[in-house]
Amino acid sequence: MQVAVVGGSLGGLTAGLLLRDMGISVDIYERSPVELAQRGAGIGFLPESQRYLVERAGVSLDKISIATSHIRYLNRNAQMVYDGLHQYRFSSWTTIYRELLACVEPAIYHLDHEMIDWIDDADCVNVRFANGTTRQADLLICADGVGSTARARLLPNVQPQYAGYVCWRGMVPEQAVDAKTRSVFDDAITYYVYANSHALVYPIPGPDGSVKKGERLFNLVWYRNYLEGSDLDDLMTDNTGQLREISLPPGSVSERHAAELRTVAAARLPEPMADLVSKLEQPFLQVIYDIDIPRMAFGRVCLVGDAAFVARPHAAAGTAKAAADGWALAQALSEEKDVVAALKQWEAGQLSLGRQLLERTRSIGRRSQVDCNWVAGDPELILGLHGPGV
């Protein structure tokens, strides 16, 4: 069997590696001309995202992630109003990407291959790339992310739904903050919840992947509401005057909005969090969308990861869902040799997984950003792909 995977990020890499391990001939096509750079910053590192690296690559979790033991909530005065024991692991997008990429033979990972189209015959799929090359495959796996070209073609009526808020993000080296701030954020995920907003902080590996204390980063995530239309458009107009849709990468936020972020942080966030915001050299942001889809399998073509459902980040489960799609696909193909039949069998479970995550994260987001009824330490808010803590 020949498989083409489009999208060389965490979802595409995991699916590609799992099928390669089954002896299937796999090629992974990524539109970026260079290896992917740091995106998404910190990630809650859930078991499904760890699974390939632990089970197949023998990587030690302690080398690529940080284990924390507390969930903490601060109040406006930076007093700890909740401190519960709960173990999480946190890592960074770059660390996980590097580790997965190291498992792939360079000859099957093709940069600068942007898929522009495909023809789906009864017997095979012919994929076309912007660089003029083509590829014939028995199965096309589309892992092309939130702005998926494949989803737009297969499900033209599905549109991203703006959640009403964006997520400001940034990382600060541990060394840049004083011992008092360090002690608040060390060994914990720390939340502050206030009117129609919440912020959280957790430690992640340093830029070079170091997990040693003193060399790590504090990852800040702050959800803030912006009205759709001119309010959001003003925010999303970058420092060159260009209106962007999904995200503003580091270095592109307008000076006016970066300054507003620092001012509001100083006025509204507990001092240790405001301190982090004041030290963010290049805050960046992602607009929060929901994408709900009715199908994931289309003959010999399927959608995985963010190319399929996009759920809000409140369960920290986006990469875990992408990985779970890949594991389930490998299982389905090992049980059923007919690709079309295997995809059909696979689809039912993944639709149900994606939909439950979407609904749960919508509800969490509404409680924080609209209803304002988050309670410190609420067990419903525990991170997890299948449900709180699982």
Q: Does 53 participate in binding ligand FAD (rule CB under 6 A)?
A: no
Please enumerate, as own/partner, the contacts of 83-89 that have beta carbons within 8 Å and a separation of 24 or more.
Answer: 84/377, 86/382, 86/389, 88/44, 88/45, 88/189, 88/202, 88/383, 89/44, 89/45, 89/46, 89/50, 89/61, 89/65
- Judged by CB, which is closer to ligand FAD: 75, or 252? 252
Bridge partners, 191 (sequence order): 73, 200
CA atoms within 13 A on the CB side of 384: 12
| Closest distance of CB 178 from ligand FAD, Å | 26
Total residues in contact with ligand FAD, by rule CB under 6 A: 35
Q: In the β-sheet with 134-137, what is the strand arrangement from edge to edge?
A: 115-120, 125-129, 134-137
| Closest distance of CB 179 from ligand FAD, Å | 27
| Closest distance of CB 275 from ligand FAD, Å | 21
Which of residues 26, 64, 66, 115 is near ligand FAD by CB under 6 A? Answer: 115
Q: Does 71 participate in binding ligand FAD (rule CB under 6 A)?
A: no
Burial 304-332 (b: 16+ CB within 10 A, else e): bbbbbbbbbbbbbbbbbbbbbbbbbbbeb
Structure-token pair, residue 227: 């009205």
Rounded to whole angstroms, how far apart are CA atoms 379 and 377? 6
Residues 2-31 that bind ligand FAD (CB under 6 A): 6-12, 29-31
Which of residues 1, 2, 24, 36 is near ligand FAD by CB under 6 A? Answer: 36
Which of residues 43, 253, 302, 382 is near ligand FAD by CB under 6 A? Answer: 43
| Contact status, residue 110 vs residue 28, Cβ threshold 8 Å | yes
- Judged by CB, which is closer to ligand FAD: 7, or 206? 7
| Closest distance of CB 64 from ligand FAD, Å | 14
Residues 300-339 that bind ligand FAD (CB under 6 A): 305-307, 313, 316-320, 322
| Closest distance of CB 79 from ligand FAD, Å | 26
- Judged by CB, which is closer to ligand FAD: 115, or 376? 115
- Judged by CB, which is closer to ligand FAD: 40, or 205? 40
- The count of other CB atoms within 10 Å of the CB of residue 122 is 7
For the packed helices 10-21 and 93-102, what is the interaxial angle rounded to 10 degrees?
30
With contacts defined by CB under 6 A, name the span among 38-46, 266-274, 346-354, 360-368 that binds ligand FAD: 38-46
Residues 139-198 that bind ligand FAD (CB under 6 A): 143-146, 149, 167
HEC per residue, 168-182: EEEEEEHHHCCHHHH
Backbone angles phi, psi at 193, to 5 degrees: -115, 125
Q: Does 286 participate in binding ligand FAD (rule CB under 6 A)?
A: yes
Ramachandran bin of 153, using left for φ above 0, alpha for ψ from -120 to 50, beta for the remaining angles? alpha
Binding site for ligand FAD (CB under 6 A): 6-12, 29-32, 36, 40, 43-44, 49, 114-115, 143-146, 149, 167, 286, 305-307, 313, 316-320, 322
